[in-house]
Structure 1
Amino acid sequence: MTDPGRQHGARQPSTLQALRRLDPFVEPVRRSILIAMAMALAASLVSLAVPQVLQRIVDGPLADKDAAAIPGAVAIIAALGVVEAALYFARRLFIVGPATRVEASMRRALFAKLQDLPVAFHDRWPSGQLLSRSMTDLSLIRRFIAFGFIYLVVNMITIGVGFVVLLLMSPLLAIVFMVCSVPLWINGFRFERRYHIVARRSQDQQGDLATLVEESVHGIRVLKAFGRSRTKLQGFLQRAEELRGTEIEKAQAVAQIWLWLLLVPDVAFALCLLTGVWQASIGALSVGQLVAFFATATVLRFPLESIGFLLSMLFDTRTATDRLFEVFDEENTIQEPAQSAHIADAHGRLEFQGVHFHYPDAPASAPDLLDGVDLSIEPGETMALVGLTGSGKTTMVELAGRLYDVTGGRILLDGVDIRDLTRMELRTHIAMAFEEATLFSASVRDNVLLGRPDAGDDVLMEALDIAQAKFVYDLPDGLETTIGEEGLSLSGGQRQRLALARAVAANPAVLVLDDPLSALDVDTEALVEAALRQVLTRTTALIVAHRPSTVQLADRVALLEQGRVIAVGTHSELLATSERYRFVISSLEDELRPGVVGGQTQQEVDA
């Protein structure tokens, strides 16, 4: 299982360039971030002021044994401590709201992008990868904006100001301290290169693991039915172990930088202590200056040590940003027209003119799935598509709803190329019901009126009656009963009937049905077909038929063979004139013995 967003061999932008792509989302709260950063910087500068007060206490009242001056100096230190705590508290309160707004706006934009991208995109991308981007990666970005970015900048400024203060106190001690810090920066750059690669691999593996969990939960009935839960568990454990190994590699990289972050300041403190005591002994440095120097160095210790986890947070965020924009950068191949046409009163005439189709990810050498289809369906006519598996029936109905775009030829609705209509208008004229009925975690009412949410109860009840879905009235809350995830709490036939009711309730000019009755028993199917005949008298219909009984609903039948329409006529006409049609219909009637028709093989029929 792979992540289509992973890039191999491509030149990667710098971390700064990658994070700059967040600017459109951050711009509305930039002022809040700068104010929070100013508060944090003020708190850090206040902490640097405390050693200066200590120096004056040691060199003044303590050296002069002036006890009366000490309480005032202590009060100043206490006041500085209170101000510092208040600034940190205010920063946290001030930034939480803006950071969550950035996360919310990015999540809205990502969900809107996922809804807008074509079906071909979702065919390629595992759901777990999209889920990890919309949850884990966005959470990482929000935490970096609220904390990591602010303190990375503030701590760098604090370190710079602190070094200047140390230089003013004692140039020699400051130089010793700064020279000892050089290994930190060298290892910091080495850490960036190593950690970015490992962090990306970790986040991709988390997406793979999420996909595996989602598939296992979605297919739990199949796993239990075939007794393969243990096998799936082994696959999960293998993926989890790979992720664990990558997380250990991440931890080792972080541990290495922490080794330097902890060791270097201690070595620097020891060398500075030796040098400082020597300087104090020769009178080059006062005791107060020495105390203030080490108090300042102690204040700088946290900013120095924080560089490790702030850098790891920075590179995690950079990776999350890369992964997020891999989705945002995906091109929507189902484009809106530059100048849209409009059908004021759709009659439902549907025409396929020289239609070719080739899946985007299929090899270039592969033949077209549809190879020059010509077919016209008149307003109010019901056309059935019949053909063996792989002939292109489902592809034709998906093209009619523009779930994919034709790669050659065109499809016309009332004489207008469907690519000249906005997707929203097209899908008000054409409604679809698929063999695999998908329902949402919403009420029965919301599911059925999905394509026409403003319709009244009369439309809803008529659609349910036509689809023979009166079982909904016996559910715990009737029409307001919330259907579980993907409607799996219902039987396959019940789901199909609700999906059919949804298509009927949309009241389209063209009704496209992809074998929507396959899960129904014979009696229920007969009732649904009888009710459907009423609907089909007032709408154009294109039906993929896998059952002879479904063919009986049609005014005419189109026979597909290897991506081409090879015969069109009524069911009776084709039975009388097309030997190939008789074979296909017989195959539908005798699905338990594929390839055998009345004791004859395919080759015998063709002969």
Structure 2
Amino acid sequence: MGSDLSPLIRRNRVMKIILQYIRPYKWLCFFTLLVMVLDVAGGLLIPTITADMINIGVGGGNMRNLIRSGLIMLVVTILASSGALLGSYLSSRLSSKIGRDMRNALYDKSLTFSAYDFERFGTGSMITRTMNDVNVVQQGIVWFIQMVLPVPVVCILGIIMAFSIDVQMGFLLIGATVFVILLAVLVTRKASVIFDKLQKFLDRMNEVLRENATGVRVIRAFNKEKYEEKRMRKSFEDYAESAIKANRLFAGLESVALLTINLCIVAILWLGGNRIGAGYMEIGDITALTQYAVLILFYIVMAQMVLILVPRAMICIRRISDVINHTPEIEDAAAWAGEEKEQEEAVIRFQQVSFRFADAGENTLGDLDFSCKRGQTTAIVGSTGSGKSTIAKLILRFHDVTSGAVLLNGKDIRKMTQKELRTHISYVPQKAWLFSGTIADNLRHGNETATEQQMNHALAVAQSEFVLDLPERLNSQVSQGGTNFSGGQKQRLSIARALTKKADLYIFDDSFSALDFKTDAALRKALADEVKGAAVLIIAQRISTIMNAEQIIVLEEGRIVGMGNHDTLMKTCSVYQDIAKSQMKGAVNHE
């Protein structure tokens, strides 16, 4: 039963999303439709006036009537042309506003997504939905208003006028119109399935292109150009094959529709000649009927051309609605209404915390119980995959705990807004990332109101004196991702950005790995004085980086297997001893 209702549910969801974005511009939409209807009505009046002029003929006192009819035709033509121009402008304006709102909604929604939510949709697909899908919807709106919505008006008015001339001619136009419309509906239904695949192939093309662009050095290093070329060609061929199928459908539809128009005109001339001979019609009526038929079927053919895009636009709207209606893994809480306790000794406390990824079969972290105290440095060390960086993500609430609780200044972080939570935390990610702009712009990500003196101080603590050697110093340009700086420079700038912000907790997620030992030691010494009023959490691979930490937590397979300072762990924790031995090559004397 659920599978039978699912297409209906999807259609209702698509209609809701369309109405959601049209509703703010309902008056603009109404005025646009009114202009388009008046334009069509004016276009249908011209054949009627032409028929009257032919029937009046020339001679006697008929010249005055002909001139009057000609002037009326001129006025109607000018008004219809102006209406068409105004309708095009209004429909374009409407589509641009709706497109802007959709892109803003997609972007705002993406800001609420966790890493798992992004993985569910895929980065390539999110880019396609924001750029290509919205663009298709915008084109669909313009074409639909200009070429599809006038069709019912043209058909109804045209057939009524045909019936006013002759009943047989009216039924002839009804038959031709119904035939072409039914054919168009049949083709559109088949095309919808193809366009659904087409957008997925477009997602795949974006993903492969993105991988090839970002991983070009690895591809060249391993001589995989031919392999990647085959993979790229396969995605292009899949897309092209589906596009060709859709084009064949609509090419056949257009051919049949044009054939129907010609056959209809032939039928009007043949039957009309007989009706004129029988005295039921006049010669000018043939001209009017022919033009009614051409207008009706022309608009239907134009609508068919638009219907190439409409199924695709509907698929795109559904894909957009999938993102906008998605419930994020992390849902924001209401603002904290309790009493603030800014100066609690334990800034962060893990209480019997376990965590499991949504698509995992077992816990990544289990039974974590520790605190990061103000004025102390807590270090986390462990083998690759032991869950060190996941702890930082739980503190920042990039993921929610499966059981237990994480407390910030005595408050469960799930009962705080994410914005409030992150105002207390300054974070240096495992992979240093800089944004395009200037060095000052990047540092002010930590503190929007930071002065030049504050930024220079943060750079000095982070051992980033190289900035002073740059011609423009803080105003030096940064490429996207910081590609114009070395790995160590990016790490130091990321640390300086974190230090520009005054926080209760500073998290350094393996943020010293690209630094040489001399710079690492100097940075840690300067850092100790800079953040002594806050709690510091260092996630590291190198023992030398964390030897002086007041508390070292040793992780293995997501569980704490040791806790204490360096000297204590060297005596009591075999896992820590093994890590130390592998790095210090047995130089450390332990019992």
State whether TM-score is above 0.5.
yes
Tell whether the 8 Å contact from 1:382 to 1:555 is kept in structure 2 after alignment: yes
Counterparts of 1:236-315 in structure 2 under 5 Å? 236-315=232-311
Question: Where does residue 92 of structure 1 map in the other structure?
Answer: 88
Q: 2:382 aligns with which of 384, 387, 391?
A: 387
The reply on whether 1:232 has 2:223 as its aligned counterpart is no
Q: What does residue 342 of structure 2 align with?
A: 345
Say if 2:401 is the partner of 1:406: yes
Asked if the contact 1:158/1:300 (under 8 Å) is kept, the reply is: yes
Query: Is 2:400 the counterpart of 1:397?
Result: no
Any stretches of 5+ residues in structure 2 without a counterpart? none
| Structure 1 Cα separation of the partners of residues 296 and 343 of structure 2 | 73
Check conservation: 2:355, 2:364, Cα contact below 8 A. yes
Q: Are residue 534 (structure 1) and residue 552 (structure 2) matched?
A: no
Cα pair 2:355 2:403 within 8 Å, conserved: yes
Give the Cα–Cα distance (whole angstroms) in 2 for the partners of residues 191 and 430 of structure 1.
Answer: 57
CA shift for structure 1 position 346 = 4.7
Which residue of the other structure, out of 71, 79, 82, is the alignment partner of 2:78?
82
Q: Offset of 1:251 from its aligned partner?
A: 0.6
TM-score for the superposition, normalised by structure 1: 0.91
1:335-366 residue CA offsets vs partner (Å, 9 max, x unmatched): 2224624636355521111110000122xxx2
Match of 2:490 among 468, 474, 495: 495
Could you tell which deviates more after superposition, 387-396 or 13-22? 13-22
C-alpha distance in 1, partners of 2:11/2:259?
Answer: 27
Equivalent residue number for residue 107 of structure 2: 111
Instruction: Show CA shifts across 1:561-596 (max 9, x none).
Output: 221112111101111222232012223446xxxxxx
- Contact 1:192/1:315 (8 A) holds in 2: yes
1:214 aligns with 2:210: yes
Q: CA deviation at 1:458?
A: 2.4
Query: Following TM superposition, by how much is the alpha carbon of 1:507 offset from its aligned partner in structure 2, in angstroms?
Result: 1.7
Cα 1:313–1:538 change in 2 (3 A) is same
Question: In the TM superposition, what are the counterparts of 1:147-546 in structure 2 within 5 Å?
Answer: 147-338=143-334, 340=336, 341=338, 343=340, 345-347=342-344, 349-362=347-360, 366-546=361-541
Contact 2:380 2:554 in 1 (8 A): yes
| Deviations 1:260-311 (CA, angstroms, capped at 9, x unpaired) | 2212121212122211111112222111111211122222232121121222
Q: Which residue of structure 2 lines up, in the alignment, with residue 601 of structure 1? A: none
AA aligned opposite 2:357: Y
CA distance, structure 2, for counterparts of residue 268 and residue 201 of structure 1: 37
Aligned length: 584
Which one-letter code corresponds to 2:430 in the other structure?
E
Q: Residues 261, 470 of structure 1: CA spacing in aligned structure 2 closer, same or farther, 3 A cutoff?
A: farther
Per-residue deviation, residues 516-572 of structure 1 (Å, max 9, x unmatched): 011122332232222222234222011112001111241121111221112111101
Going from structure 1 to structure 2, the CA distance change for 1:380 and 1:234 (only over 3 Å counts) comes to same
What TM-score results when the alignment is normalised by the length of structure 2? Answer: 0.94
1:434, 1:68 → 2: CA distance? 86
Q: Deviations over 1:21-70 (max 9, x none)?
A: 22222112111111111111111110100111111111113487944543
* Cα distance in 2, alignment partners of residues 266 and 589 from structure 1: 89
C-alpha distance in structure 2 between counterparts of 1:15 and 1:568, whole Å: 57
In the alignment, which residue of structure 2 is the partner of 1:19?
15
CA contact (8 A) 1:148 1:313 kept: no
Q: Is the 8 A contact 2:177 2:297 kept in 1?
A: no
Residue 121 (1) aligns with residue 117 (2): yes
Runs of 5+ in structure 1 lacking a partner?
Answer: 1-6, 591-596, 599-604
Quickly say closer, same or farther: Cα 1:477–1:224, change in 2 above 3 A: farther
Residue type of the alignment partner of 2:352: G
Per the alignment, in what secondary structure is the counterpart of residue 412 of structure 1?
strand
Instruction: Report the counterpart of residue 554 of structure 1 in structure 2.
Output: 549
- State the distance in 2 between where 1:529 and 1:52 align: 89
Structure 1 343/486 Cα, relative in aligned 2: closer, same or farther at 3 Å? farther
Contact kept in structure 2, 1:346 and 1:509, CA below 8 Å? no
Structure 2: distance between partners of 1:566 and 1:405: 23
The CA distance in 1 between the partners of 2:13 and 2:388, in whole Å, is 47
Structure 1 residues 158 and 205, CA gap change in structure 2 (3 angstroms): same
In 2, distance between residues paired with 1:551 and 1:88? 73
Q: In the superposition, relative to structure 1, how do residues 33 and 435 fare at CA in structure 2: closer, same or farther (>3 Å)? A: same
**Residue 122 of structure 1 aligns to which amino acid in structure 2?**
F
Q: 1:129 to 1:395 in 2, by over 3 A?
A: same
Q: Percent identity?
A: 23
Cα RMSD for the two superposed structures: 2.2
